[in-house]
Amino acid sequence: MRVPVQIQNHPFLADHRVERQAVYPAVESLERLAQVVAAQYPEQGLLQSRDAQFLRFLQMPADLTSVEAIADITPEDNTGVNASLGTSIRTPRGSITRIREHARVTFSDITPPVPIPLDMACAGEGICYPLPAEKLYKELVPFGPAFQNAAGRVLLFKDGAVAALNAPRIETGPRLLGSPFPLDAAFHVACAWGQRYRSFVAFPVGYTGRKIIHPAEAGASYYCRVVPTDTQGADTILFDIWIYDAGGELCEVTAGVRMKNIFQQRMHVPEWVKAGERDALRKIRERSSGVSVVELTSILPFAEKILSPHELEIGRKRHPGKRNRHVGARIALKRLARLLYKTKLPFDPSSIETIAPDGIHPVCVPSGHKQDFFCSASHDDRFAVAVAGDRPIGVDVERLKDTLLKGAHVYMTSNEQALCARSPLGQGQAALRVWTAKECAAKALDIPIVSMWSRAELKEIGDDRSIVSVEGRTVEAVHAGVDDHLFTVLSIPKA
């Protein structure tokens, strides 16, 4: 069935510009096709769709108040409806008319991707790259104000991104699929990820499946977790996009989003956003059975939903300014547990306990399961970190502070003070390594840190490794610096 379609050229669409030309957004194409299908097949469900393809840009000239288009609608064995959006064009001589297809989709029930637990969705993993939304839209995705709906700071990291999203109030009449702006902004976040970690400008060209659970409401705020899942050749990245409301309820998931470099050499990625190959925590990972690092600024507002009742109770006792650190450590430990025990953990993160009954020691083992690993956790004002090992292990993360040198006489031996004084790292960095190594040793042996000051002594202080004598045993502390923060891990051989 072929249906004529009139697309209103609303003023806000002028903000959706690609290579200086206003083009119809992919999310608007989906909405317009949904409206056409609803008019022809009122019983057809529209909140699930699959096999979407965004084939060609549909230009929206500024001098037109509307654009004439065509929708081809075809039922599919009583299970769905295929829909495509096209425009009619004539050959140069004007003797032949043909249809140029711009978008197609099938509205049909889908098998959504395996959901991700909330502890995996509610924060970044690893060292994050903070990208202010203003810079995203000024230099990476240069759309106008109506389409600048990633908000605050977009946090990019090797395994994906998290970001706040807006759904602005722009009057266009009723929408069957909800506000299109959160998903559109999530595409922008995925585009930024591609520029940082793949060094090309990727735009959405389709998806495998989309399920809308709660249509986005105009005026509301949302959050996305963007997960790169695969690559197709050298110019296409696949993503799953999960969008949550402010309370942490999943609103929609779009799976198998294909982001492709359709511009070839016409658009270039700024050098400042490209990530290097270096993994700052590589040596920490090599010395551990598992590591999880959470940047506290990447934690989304609903993250407390992952806490168990016991964790919530202990968190309430924390100073209000440090509760985010408590949550970050819980996220890191739950993720670590999933890494170590995989399918043995419950999907609901609030059922995973990461604090021992004593209210002090960290744990990362499924309830009722024999503990196969030792674990340790730490946090400072930027990071939370959890590590696991097959022997007693301790981790610490600290920011460089003047107090470390001022109090050196308290926690250092005279030999350590001499090492720091002549260290090529500088006294502050050397002192930071002494402090964190002793903190790690105290955690590994479950000894109060004050006692460890005299029971451990650093014999060598290095940039990424130090030699420590702990109660007559010589062990190695491994360091990793990130800006002015230092991660240290130390494990103790079993007696």
CATH number of the domain residue 485 falls in = 3.90.470.20
236 and 375 share one domain: no
* pLDDT computed for residue 96 by the predictor: 64
H-only helix segments in 154-265:
181-197
Whether residues 317 and 462 fall in one domain: yes
DSSP letters spanning 383-420: EEEEEEESS-EEEEEEE--THHHHTHHHHS-HHHHHHH
**CATH code, domain with 13:** 3.10.129.10
Please report where in the chains the tokens 């008019």 appear, as a residue. 39
Q: Of 461, 27, 442, 398, whose CA–CA distance to 241 is shortest?
A: 27
Q: Show the domain range for 180.
A: 118-273
pLDDT for 495 equals: 67
From CA 438, how far away is CA 254, in angstroms rounded? 47
Q: 98 and 143: one domain?
A: no
Which residue among 73, 108, 143 closes a domain? 108
Q: Pick from 377, 482, 371: which is nearest to 439 by CA? A: 377
Q: Where are the beta strands (DSSP E) in 158-274?
A: 160-166, 203-212, 221-231, 236-245, 250-260
Alpha-carbon radius of gyration of the chain? 27
Q: Is residue 287 part of a domain?
A: yes
Q: Which of 216, 242, 273 is the last residue of a domain?
A: 273
pLDDT for res 97: 74
pLDDT of residue 95: 59
Q: How far apart are CA 83 and CA 103, in angstroms?
A: 8
Q: What are 95-119's pLDDT values in tens digits? A: 567 889 999 999 999 988 888 999 9
Is 289 found in the same domain as 186? no
List the alpha helices (DSSP H) in 70-174.
Answer: 118-121, 133-135
Q: State the total domains in the chain.
A: 3
Amino acid identity, position 191: C
Q: 72, 88, 108 — which closes off a domain? A: 108
Regarding whether 286 and 261 lie in a shared domain, the answer is no
CA-nearest of 404, 476, 483 to 440 is: 476
Pairing of strands 221-231, 290-295: unpaired
Q: What is the CATH number of the domain that holds 197?
A: 3.10.129.120
Whether 56 and 144 share a structural domain: no
Name the packing angle between helices 414-421 and 427-445 (round to 10°). 140
Residues of the chain falling short of pLDDT 70 = 91-96, 495
Claim to verify: residue 317 and residue 234 sit in the same structural domain: no
pTM: 0.93
Closest C-alpha to 241, from 160, 177, 319: 160
What pLDDT sits at residue 372? Answer: 85
95 and 16, same structural domain? yes
With respect to residue 113, please indicate whether it lies within any of the assigned structural domains.
no
